[in-house]
Structure 1
């Protein structure tokens, strides 16, 4: 046992990877400087971010099997190369005044690094923390949520001091070093390894650790109803959350009368609550169970989205938005543990990759759908009412999936009785 790696350092390595790739959420800092530097429209610059999120989802889906086959050290090293080259290459694109190269390097190449880096530590952490799955994945994915808060002021300073091309080059080199170094410590636990006291704790009736409902491959998992139930729940949670993120500032000014500066401050605080929600909800899910956690997400947000158009008091409005954002972040961090509970850890990385196609789809449709409703109805009220209805659908699915869980538990008990 003395040669077994420290699982908390494994978790710290996961945080290192996620806090690097999560800097993609600081993209808005580049928006105005790039518009001025390359004479681009807002839409042209924003498309770079959308392409990156699209390739995050696609690469996570298609490279999940790569992670399982070659292990987290190899896949993490590959992520460092793709992400580092992609970010540094964006600097070359700006230097050459090429929008297409910017799309290719930041959108496609860095986007692949994003997807690979996102799923690499997660399946490993679930295996190292069978007793605290939510806490472990919450720690890593919290890094993704907090990253923009850390990266934004640094990027702004660099752009002001050395210009956009060199800023991308410095960031690319820095992120490569952090991700590469973090990946070298990542490895799955030894066969049949469990943390000290785990077996005794699992047998204690008052504090029983549930056995995984099944052990499926990724290709087997996608053929089940429960996979698509989880996909729908994640898609709705991300679609509505990302739409709120996209319009948080103008919506706060229109509904609650916040000034431009106050709305900008609120947007900055959103990053904190996004990160706290990822850790808090995922940890809480270890105690109340993943099904109850997701039901809570949708019940809370259904009510809050319904009330939000009438939250004209500036403080109440912000409290409601922050609570919504914790649920948005918590959806990301709780899903890997939910996947482990439902499908086991045999190919968790690949299954998680398939599940993240919901993120790619939501990243494209959420903000566009929100903007379309806003332009059609002339206010945010219609948008928020439709989102409340979507959460009612997600709430229903979160209750229906319990029938699947109950059926699987009964089958497992029948097998054990034979």
Structure 2
């Protein structure tokens, strides 16, 4: 037998990949320089980001089976190629002054790299951490949430020093190198591998280890109600979170009377809570279970969205916003572990890819609805109350999936009892 890889180095590799692809959240720092240089409209430049998120969801769905077939290393290397070409190619688009080439490279090629790079390390981590699924996926996806805090100042400096096109060339090469070398260490655990002390922990009863409810393929999973409950819950959670992100600054000025500078500072801090929520809530889900965690997400946000229009105190307003963003990030980080619990690890990457189409849909729906309601009303009240209502629906779904899970557990228990061998009475008497 070959030497078994260190699962914490697998986690470090996953963080490296997600910190690179998560730089997509720093797109806004390109917006103003592009408008000033070429005179493009804000909507035109923002569409680049929307297109990248759309292709993230679509490519995750279509390339999930490639991940399962070829393994995480080849999948990660392909992600490095697509994302590296996407970012470096954007430099060529800027050099040629073509926004359509920018859509092609950053939106399409970069988006495909995003989708494949997102699901590859996460699906691998779930298999390496059967005892700490929430913590493991939270670590990787926290990297995605925090990436903008790292890459934004670097990009701003490079733009001022070498120009927009060269910044894309440099960052594209850097991301390619990080993703490429991080992917080389990725590998699934050996068959039937468990971490040291795993069985002893189970036997002692000191800590209850979550058992997978089933082992389904992606095509089997999409035929279950549980899949669509998860899809809808993630769609609603992302739609509401993205809507808040897209209008946080003007909303803070309108409701809490914050200055432009103070509102901008709040937006920066939102990134911290987005990232912290990913590791914090996901780790907490290891103790209370994923179904309970999602119920808590929606219960918190229903209250938060209802009271936000009345929060005129800046501190209270920001506290509510930060709480919502932590739940938004936590929803991303908890869903891979939830998928593993419910559908098993047989084709987790492919199932996760299908689920992430909810992100593609929400990335379009959330900001567009927020912008539309603001244009047809005098304030954001309609937007907030509508999303509060949506979150009530998501809360109902969280109870429905719990009921479905209880039925499946009962069914599994009956199957186990029937499968147990019955010792003949005569044999017992003789002994």
Instruction: Please indicate the TM-score interval, normalised by the length of the shorter structure.
Output: over 0.9
Structure 2 CA distance for aligned equivalents of residues 389 and 203 of structure 1: 44
1:46-98: CA deviations, max 9, x gaps?
Answer: 00000000000000000000001101100000000000010000000000011
Structure 1 distance, partners of 2:346, 2:205, is 26
Q: Which residue of structure 1 aligns with residue 54 of structure 2?
A: 54
Matched residue SS, 1:399? helix
Q: Does residue 310 of the first structure (1) align with residue 310 of the second (2)? A: yes
Match of 1:326 in 2: 326
Residue 127 (structure 1) aligns with: 127
CA deviation map 1:209-263 (0-9, x unaligned): 1210000000000000000000000000000000100011110000001100000
Instruction: Tell me how far 1:2 sits from its aligned partner.
Output: 7.6
- Match of 2:188, SS state, is coil
What is the alpha-carbon distance in structure 2 between the residues aligned to residue 4 and residue 206 of structure 1? 27
Query: Partner of 2:181 in structure 1?
Result: 181
- 1:82-138 deviations in whole A, cap 9, x for unaligned? 000100000000000111100000000000000000000011100000000000000
Counterpart of 2:103 in structure 1 is: 103
Q: Distance in 1 between matches of 2:28 and 2:378?
A: 25
- Is the CA contact (8 Å cut-off) linking 2:131 and 2:210 kept in structure 1? no
Give the equivalent residue in structure 1 for 2:6.
Answer: 6
Distance 1:232 1:82 in 2: 29
**Other-structure match for 2:337:** 337
Q: Give 1:39 deviation, angstroms.
A: 1.6
* Structure 2 CA distance for aligned equivalents of residues 204 and 255 of structure 1: 54
Cα deviations by residue, 1:373-414 (Å, 9 ceiling, x for unpaired): 111122011110111101000001001111110111011101
Gap regions ≥5 residues in structure 1: none
1:350 aligned residue? 350
Q: Secondary structure at the match of 1:413?
A: helix
SS at match of 2:211: coil
- Computing the radius of gyration over CA atoms, which structure comes out larger, 1 or 2? 2
Shift, 1:38, TM fit: 1.9
TM-score, length basis structure 1: 0.99
Q: Where do 1:1-400 residues align within 5 Å?
A: 3-400=3-400
Preserved CA contact (<8 Å) 1:123 1:348: yes
Determine helix, strand or coil for the equivalent of 1:258: coil
2:196 partner SS: coil
Contact 1:83 1:114 in 2 (8 A): yes
- Whether contact under 8 Å (1:66, 1:75) holds in the other structure is yes
Instruction: Tell me which moved more, 371-380 or 180-189.
Output: 371-380
CA contact (8 A) 1:145 1:274 kept: yes
Partners of 1:13 and 1:185 within 8 A in 2: yes
* Distance of 1:202 and 1:237 partners within structure 2: 33
Is the 8 Å Cα contact of residues 308 and 317 (structure 1) preserved in structure 2? Answer: yes
What CA distance in whole angstroms lies between the structure 2 residues aligned with 1:2 and 1:108?
39
- Tell me the distance in 2 between the aligned counterparts of 1:211 and 1:137: 17
DSSP 3-state at the match of 1:44: helix
TM-fit CA distance, 1:353: 0.1
The separation in 1 between residues aligned to 2:48 and 2:161, in whole angstroms, is 23
Q: Shift in Å at residue 206 of structure 1?
A: 3.8
Q: Which whole-Å CA distance do the structure 2 matches of 1:376 and 1:394 have between them?
A: 26
What is the TM-score when the length of structure 2 is the normalising length?
Answer: 0.96
- Please tell me whether the aligned partners of residues 274 and 325 of structure 1 are also in contact (alpha carbons under 8 angstroms): yes
- Partners of 1:32 and 1:348 lie apart in 2 by 40
Query: Structure 1 residue 204: deviation in Å?
Result: 3.1
- Distance in 2 between the 1:205 and 1:143 partners? 33
CA distance in 2, matches of 1:206, 1:407: 26
CA RMSD of aligned residues (A): 0.8
CA distance in structure 1 between the partners assigned to 2:221 and 2:2 by the alignment: 36
Aligned to 1:188, the other structure's residue is in SS state coil
